[in-house]
Structure 1
Amino acid sequence: MPYINFKEENYKLSKQLANRKNNNINIRKKIIKDHNLVREYGPFDEFSFKNIKNKIIGSDKILDEIDFRLEVGKNFVCVNFYNCKFQNIKFVDCSFIGCNFNRCMFESGGVVFENCTFTKSDSIKTPSLNIKDNFSATFEECKIYAKFKGCDLSYSIFENSILKNTSFELSNMQAVIVTKCDLHDIEVCDSDFQKFKTCKCYINNFKFNDKYMTTFDEKTFFDKLIERKKDRDEYEGIYTVYQNIADKYKQNNLNSNFGEYYYLAKKEEHKTLGFLPKLESYLYWFSCGYGERPIYSIYTSLFIIFLFAFLYLIFGIEIHEQLVQYSNLQTLEFLSIDKLYRDFKEAFFLSVSLFTGVGGENSIAALSSYFWADIEMLIGVIMTGIGTGTLIRKIIR
């Protein structure tokens, strides 16, 4: 069985997403009614507590980062940005508390967020000891070309958006939910991805460029990736993404999670292989699920046992010193269902005994079946070793 139940994880994620949205709505209503609840973020920017539509924020040109318009120390609280364009602008030490970005474009030369905060963790309730609100920002149906450096994006929501050539460096991405998004050329560097989750995303080139280490935990979850083009380039891209994710789990000593994404990576790699490598991949897959599915060893072993049982009936088996050979027309002439059942039962017992190397009592392989018997014994030894090794490896994890 897989270590990660993707169906269950997606179900829990959908409930978590609904609860987070409701939490944001309820807190926003209270803050809009009483601005003193967020007085620590004053003085507020002129946009705070307003609906901002169809506005260009930044410079209407394509510029290098060094020439971006600079905004320092601004506090945007409970702003609904709708159909706005953010371009060629750099926000430093700014706060975006409870802001909604809907159908916004972060484009042109791009947008830089440096040491910015998108979440209010402390509670507006009194007493607030040990209570967290996690009042977060939402990006919905946005196109994002940006750099997030040293930012707190924890509990943020990215939904139905496109993120392209976007980087997250030294940022807090705890409990971020990314759902139904396209992620192209994403780079992560030394960020906190604990409880980070994706759902139904198309991901092309998602890499980690760490100097130290991006942190994962047991609740970090990447959903299975969507396939669209279904060509070799896409399969290679998906394989690389899965492999990068698997390696990062391994660096965080989450070996079971590593195993699941390694398995998904090998399945995608399989689609790109030539004839001989693909044949080898099939053997590795069916025998033990690329080392991650011990149950596959049992399925494959049962298939082999049944297959050789039929081969013994065809090529010959001696049952109580009488030769039974279904390739003989005379045998088929007097065949009945009852006789077929008895003969197959003996052939199956013989196949099991040869596969496990213990030998049989009532039946033996006929001279014409010795070759198949030798092959089955050899396969049995190999499959026993593979199955035992795979199972022990999973148990140790």
Structure 2
Amino acid sequence: MGYINFKEEVSVAKTELINRINNNENILNKMKKDKSLAKGFSPDKDYSYKETEDVLIGKNTTEDEESFLIIRNTDFVCAKFIQCKFENVKFIECNFIGCIFEKCKFCNGGVVFDKCNFIKDDSNKTPSLNKEDNFSCYFKDCKLYAKFLNSKVSYAIFEQCLMKNTNLEQSNFSNAIIIYSELKMFIVKDCNLTGTKFVKTYISDLEFRDINKTKLDEKTFFDKIEVRKKTRDEYEGLYTVYETLADKFKENTLNNNFGEYYYLCKTMQRKTLKLIPRIGSYLYLVTCGYGERPWYALITSLVLIFIFAVIYLFSGIDLEGDAIQYTVNTISTISFKDFIMHMNETLNLSTGAFVGVGYNNAKPTEISYTVENIEMIVGAIMMGIGVGTVTRKLVR
């Protein structure tokens, strides 16, 4: 078993998603009924507390960022945008409180969120000391070509979204949930991803362009990426994504998480290798699970002990002065009782040779000495690999 239980993590994330959606709906209904709960904000009159459908916000052309429409210091409270287009627009120091974006497109030149806030974390309940509502925004079935710069996007939900050429820069993305989505050229720079969960999400390109460090913790979760095309290019892309994740977890001194994504990385990389390197990768896998599965060494050792025991039956053993050697012609004449007895003796001999403790009744014949020498060498190697792998895991 790996350090990360992916099935359990996915189940926990889905439960958290349901709870978060319910929490947002409850707070949304209360704030619509009592607009005084939006204290500290100045709700925009055009969109707040309304459903806006099929509207363009921005410029209907493709512009450089310098030519974007600028919307500054605006509070969008409990606004719902349906099938709207956000194009060539830059939001500066804006608040999006409990906003829902459904089937919206952030496209053409793109959208910039600079110093924006997407969460209301203070509580409306009394007393409110040490209580947080975590009233977040919900993006559903959206296409995002956007940049989040110095923004707070905590607890946000991205469901069934396509995030293409999207950048997160120096932003707080903690505890966000990205589920049933797709990330293409997703770039992260010096962000907070603690507690963030990427669930059932296809990631084809992921880069960390940190100057300082993007923060991850034990609750940060990236689900396994389901293979779609099964082509060499896809395997290479997914292998690179897993390698990037492994390196980032290691940078955050989360060595157990590093180990799991390193294992997935090597598993995916194996599918891109040519024959000889692929054989070497398989050996690395079965002997120790790429250094992350200590029980692989135990299972492989038991299999090798059994194989050598069978070889001893055919190469010959000396059992209390009687030479026993199976051949293709004589094997059918041996009773099942005698076979079990002989197999027991060769297993004892094989185990003793493999772990280097010697043998009891059965001894190898002259021909079997070569087999025994080979087994002793293999056993010494496997014991070293097994102890090294277990030690590596225990040290973590």
Give the TM bin, normalised by the shorter chain: over 0.9
- Corresponding residue of 2:394: 395
Cα shift readout 1:222-274 (whole Å, capped 9, x = no counterpart): 00012101111111111111111111111111101100000000000010001
User: Aligned with 1:166: secondary structure?
Assistant: strand
Superposed structure 1 runs of 4+ greater than 6 Å apart: none
User: Aligned with 1:145: secondary structure?
Assistant: strand
Provide the C-alpha distance between the structure 1 equivalents of 2:163 and 2:310, rounded to a whole number of angstroms.
Answer: 56
Structural mapping, 1:223-234, within 5 Å: 223-234=223-234
* Counterpart amino acid of residue 309 in structure 2: A
Indicate conservation of the 8 Å contact 1:62/1:109, yes or no.
yes
Instruction: Answer yes or no: is 1:139 the counterpart of 2:155.
Output: no
Indicate conservation of the 8 Å contact 1:165/1:186, yes or no.
yes
Provide the C-alpha distance between the structure 1 equivalents of 2:218 and 2:80, rounded to a whole number of angstroms.
Answer: 34
Structural mapping, 1:121-132, within 5 Å: 121-132=121-132
User: Aligned with 2:218: secondary structure?
Assistant: coil
Indicate conservation of the 8 Å contact 1:355/1:376, yes or no.
yes
- Corresponding residue of 2:362: 363
* Counterpart amino acid of residue 367 in structure 1: E
- Corresponding residue of 2:331: 332
* Counterpart amino acid of residue 370 in structure 2: F
Cα offset, 1:333, TM superposition: 4.8
Cα offset, 1:127, TM superposition: 1.2
Instruction: Answer yes or no: is 1:278 the counterpart of 2:278.
Output: yes
Provide the C-alpha distance between the structure 1 equivalents of 2:384 and 2:239, rounded to a whole number of angstroms.
Answer: 28
Instruction: Answer yes or no: is 1:385 the counterpart of 2:384.
Output: yes
Instruction: Answer yes or no: is 1:85 the counterpart of 2:46.
Output: no
Structural mapping, 1:262-341, within 5 Å: 262-327=262-327, 329=329, 331-341=330-340
Indicate conservation of the 8 Å contact 1:162/1:183, yes or no.
yes
Cα offset, 1:347, TM superposition: 0.6
Indicate conservation of the 8 Å contact 1:45/1:74, yes or no.
no
* Counterpart amino acid of residue 3 in structure 1: Y
Cα offset, 1:43, TM superposition: 4.5
328 and 77 in structure 1: CA distance in 2 versus 1, 3 angstrom threshold: closer
* Counterpart amino acid of residue 75 in structure 2: N
Of 318-327 and 350-359, more deviation after overlay is shown by: 318-327
* Counterpart amino acid of residue 384 in structure 1: M
Cα shift readout 1:315-348 (whole Å, capped 9, x = no counterpart): 111112211111163x425311111110101011
Per the normalisation by structure 2, the TM-score is 0.99
- Corresponding residue of 2:23: 23
Provide the C-alpha distance between the structure 2 equivalents of 1:194 and 1:36, rounded to a whole number of angstroms.
Answer: 32
Indicate conservation of the 8 Å contact 2:85/2:106, yes or no.
yes
- Corresponding residue of 2:253: 253
Provide the C-alpha distance between the structure 2 equivalents of 1:264 and 1:391, rounded to a whole number of angstroms.
Answer: 19
Indicate conservation of the 8 Å contact 1:315/1:327, yes or no.
no
Structural mapping, 1:27-46, within 5 Å: 27-46=27-46
Cα shift readout 1:41-75 (whole Å, capped 9, x = no counterpart): 11434200000000011000011111000000010
- Corresponding residue of 2:346: 347
Cα shift readout 1:69-120 (whole Å, capped 9, x = no counterpart): 0000010010110000000000000011000000000001101100000000
| Count, aligned residues | 396
User: Aligned with 1:341: secondary structure?
Assistant: helix
User: Aligned with 2:348: secondary structure?
Assistant: helix
Provide the C-alpha distance between the structure 1 equivalents of 2:327 and 2:368, rounded to a whole number of angstroms.
Answer: 12
Of 57-66 and 43-52, more deviation after overlay is shown by: 43-52
Structure 1 residue runs of 5 or longer lacking an equivalent are none
- Corresponding residue of 2:7: 7
Of 308-317 and 211-220, more deviation after overlay is shown by: 308-317
* Counterpart amino acid of residue 22 in structure 1: N
Indicate conservation of the 8 Å contact 1:102/1:142, yes or no.
yes
Provide the C-alpha distance between the structure 1 equivalents of 2:280 and 2:328, rounded to a whole number of angstroms.
Answer: 36
Provide the C-alpha distance between the structure 2 equivalents of 1:163 and 1:393, rounded to a whole number of angstroms.
Answer: 38
Provide the C-alpha distance between the structure 2 equivalents of 1:96 and 1:88, rounded to a whole number of angstroms.
Answer: 18
Indicate conservation of the 8 Å contact 1:202/1:225, yes or no.
yes
User: Aligned with 1:63: secondary structure?
Assistant: coil
* Counterpart amino acid of residue 164 in structure 1: K
User: Aligned with 2:86: secondary structure?
Assistant: strand
Provide the C-alpha distance between the structure 2 equivalents of 1:21 and 1:43, rounded to a whole number of angstroms.
Answer: 22
Provide the C-alpha distance between the structure 1 equivalents of 2:274 and 2:50, rounded to a whole number of angstroms.
Answer: 59
* Counterpart amino acid of residue 374 in structure 2: I
Provide the C-alpha distance between the structure 2 equivalents of 1:15 and 1:8, rounded to a whole number of angstroms.
Answer: 11
> What's the RMSD between the two structures over aligned residues?
0.9
Structural mapping, 1:146-185, within 5 Å: 146-185=146-185
Structure 2 residue runs of 5 or longer lacking an equivalent are none
393 and 104 in structure 1: CA distance in 2 versus 1, 3 angstrom threshold: same
User: Aligned with 2:204: secondary structure?
Assistant: strand
Provide the C-alpha distance between the structure 1 equivalents of 2:284 and 2:334, rounded to a whole number of angstroms.
Answer: 39
* Counterpart amino acid of residue 370 in structure 1: Y
Cα offset, 1:364, TM superposition: 1.1
Of 309-318 and 212-221, more deviation after overlay is shown by: 309-318
Per the normalisation by structure 1, the TM-score is 0.99
